[in-house]
Amino acid sequence: MGDKVFSGLALLAGVAILATLVFVAVFLSFNSVGAVYREEEGLIIRQFLQYAYPLVIGTLIASLIALLLATPVAVGVALYISHFAPPRLSKSIGYVIDLLAAIPSVVYGAWGMSFLGPTLVPLYGWLHQHLSFIPLFAGSPSQTGRTIFTAGVVLAVMILPIITSVCREIFIQTPKLHEEAALALGATRWEMITMAVFPFARAGIISGVMLGLGRALGETMAVALVLSPGLLTASLISAGNSTIPAEIALGFPEAPPGSERQAQLIAIGLVLFIITLIVNMTARWIVSRHKEFSGAN
């Protein structure tokens, strides 16, 4: 009896999530029709794609920068907490890193805009001076630091504690048995980590990174505050580029009710949905490829 009720509740919760998502999807699709269909001209998918693709690329660039910067640091910090720090300190250190997660995105936005951006301006100047033959550092360097790179750095700081937290919990769970097996073979600490810890934590690391990526893809306010959005450009050090959530946040308040602009903004929300989907499916696929070697029970 109790079992039926409980499993029923569990199922219900899952179904509730599905229902919500279907609701969200319907809501988005319904409201974004106006972006791809005009009464006079019929389907205008091409125009919409022209509008959407720079935003898609901008979103991916910012998230990619964030991931590239945050993942190694986050994994490093998680390792530090689980395997390097003095055991007595590691709990408190974990707490300190959690502090990063406690900071609201508005504050990150304000920090990125008023402190980080200006701090990076000389770096952008330097990069431009010495490395402008690389397309990433071409273009006139920003005088304000409000670039997609700065936004990426802020996003990296924001997702760092997410990835750290998940990785840390998993690293700590690594069976002592396997760690000792590696050490007894004469492995150094680092070799032990690559032999026992990483393989065990692989799925968890990817899960944490995906969670961080989701945050980076969907982060609105911090990016909107830090970035000077503009045309798509390969340059990381000049103003330009924008991300989907920022575009929505910046455009939606003034979009007239029922207008094509409003539909467009909701439609790119739908596009972000699809991006998230593809990214996560890829991650799941990577995890599942090695399932029988995962060591999970």
Partner 1 sequence: GEANNPVAENGDENGNGENGGGETSEVQGTLVGGGASSQEAAMTAWTNGFTSVAPEAQVNYASVGSGAGRDGFLGGEYDWAGSDSAMEDEEWEQSKEICGPDGAFHIPAYISPIAVAFNVEGIDETLNLDADTIASIFSGEVTSWDDDAIAEHNEDVDLPDTPITVVHRADDSGTTDNFTEYLEAAASTWEWEASDAWPSEISAESAQQNSGVVDLTSQTDGAITYADASQIGGLNSVAVLVGEDYVEHNAEAASQAVASSTPVEGQAPNNMAVELDRDTEEAGAYPIVLAAYNIFCNEYPDQQTADLAVAFAEYLVSEEGQQTAEAAAGNAPMSEDLRSTAMDAISQISAQ
Partner 2 sequence: MPWWVSLVILAVSAVLGAALSALMTFNMAIWFILTAVLYVIISYGVTRAKVSRRKATDTLWKHLVYLAFIIALLPLVSVIWSVTSIGIPGLLEPGFLASDMRGIDGTIDRRSQEEGEPVLGGIRHALVGSLLITLSATFISVPIGLMTSIYLVEYARGGPLARAITFFVDVMTGIPSIVAGLFGAAAVGWFLGVGNSLGLGLPTRSTMGITAAIALSVLMIPVVVRTTEEMLRVVPNELREASYALGVRKWRTILKVVIPTAISGIAAGVTLAIARVIGETAPILVTAGFIVSNNWNMFQGWMTALPVFIFRQFQNPTSPNFSDPSHQRAWAAALVLIIIVMGLNLTARLIATFLAPKNTGR
Partner 3 sequence: MSKSITAKDLNVYYGDFLAVEGVNIEIAARSVTAFIGPSGCGKTTFLRSLNRMHEVLPGARVEGQLLLDDDDIYAPGVDPVSVRAMVGMVFQRPNPFPTMSIRENVLAGYKLNGARMSRSDADGIVESALRGANLWNEVKDRLDRPGSGLSGGQQQRLCIARTVAVKPEVILMDEPCSALDPISTLAIEDLIAELQQEYTIVIVTHNMQQAARVSQNTAFFNIAGSGKPGRMIEYAETSTIFNNPSNQQTERYVSGKFG
Least separation in angstroms between residue 151's CB and partner 1 is 12
Pick from partner 3, partner 2, partner 1, none: which does 291 bind, CB < 5 to 8 A by kind?
A: none
Instruction: Scan residues 149-168 and list those touching partner 1 (CB under 8 A).
Output: none
CA gap 229, 26 in Å, rounded:
29
Contact pattern from residue 41 through residue 80 relative to partner 3, giving x for each residue in contact according to CB under 8 A and a dash for the rest = ----------------------------------------
**Residue 67 binding partner 1, by CB under 8 A:** no
Indicate which single residue of 2, 42, 186, 256 sits in contact with partner 1 (rule: CB under 8 A): 256
- Burial class from Cβ neighbours inside 10 Å (0-12, 13-18, 19+) for residue 220 reads middle
Residues 158 and 216: beta-carbon distance below 8 Å: yes
Least separation in angstroms between residue 205's CB and partner 1 is 35
Give the sign of the dihedral formed by CA 243, CA 244, CA 250, CA 251. Answer: positive
Give the sign of the dihedral formed by CA 34, CA 35, CA 36, CA 42. Answer: positive
Structure tokens at 15: 């179904």
Q: Using the 8-state DSSP alphabet, how is residue 220 labeled?
A: -
Indicate which single residue of 110, 136, 181, 232 sits in contact with partner 2 (rule: CB under 8 A): 110
Alpha helix stretches (DSSP H) within the chain? 2-36, 45-79, 87-102, 105-111, 117-131, 148-173, 176-184, 189-192, 198-218, 221-226, 244-251, 260-289
A 10 A CB-CB count for 254 gives 8
Least separation in angstroms between residue 146's CB and partner 1 is 6
**Residue 110 binding partner 1, by CB under 8 A:** no
Contact pattern from residue 167 through residue 206 relative to partner 3, giving x for each residue in contact according to CB under 8 A and a dash for the rest = --------x-xxxxxxxxxxxx--x---xx--xx-x----
Q: What angle do CA 49, 246, 267 make, to 5 degrees?
A: 35
- Residue 146 or 168: which CB sits closer to partner 1? 146
CA gap 126, 106 in Å, rounded:
29
**Residue 4 binding partner 3, by CB under 8 A:** no
**Residue 44 binding partner 2, by CB under 8 A:** no
CA gap 48, 27 in Å, rounded:
19
Instruction: Scan residues 261-280 and list those touching partner 1 (CB under 8 A).
Output: 261-262
Positions that interact with partner 3 (CB under 8 A): 3, 87, 175, 177-188, 191, 195-196, 199-200, 202, 290, 292-295
Positions that interact with partner 1 (CB under 8 A): 113-114, 118, 142-144, 146, 224-225, 227-231, 239-240, 249-259, 261-262
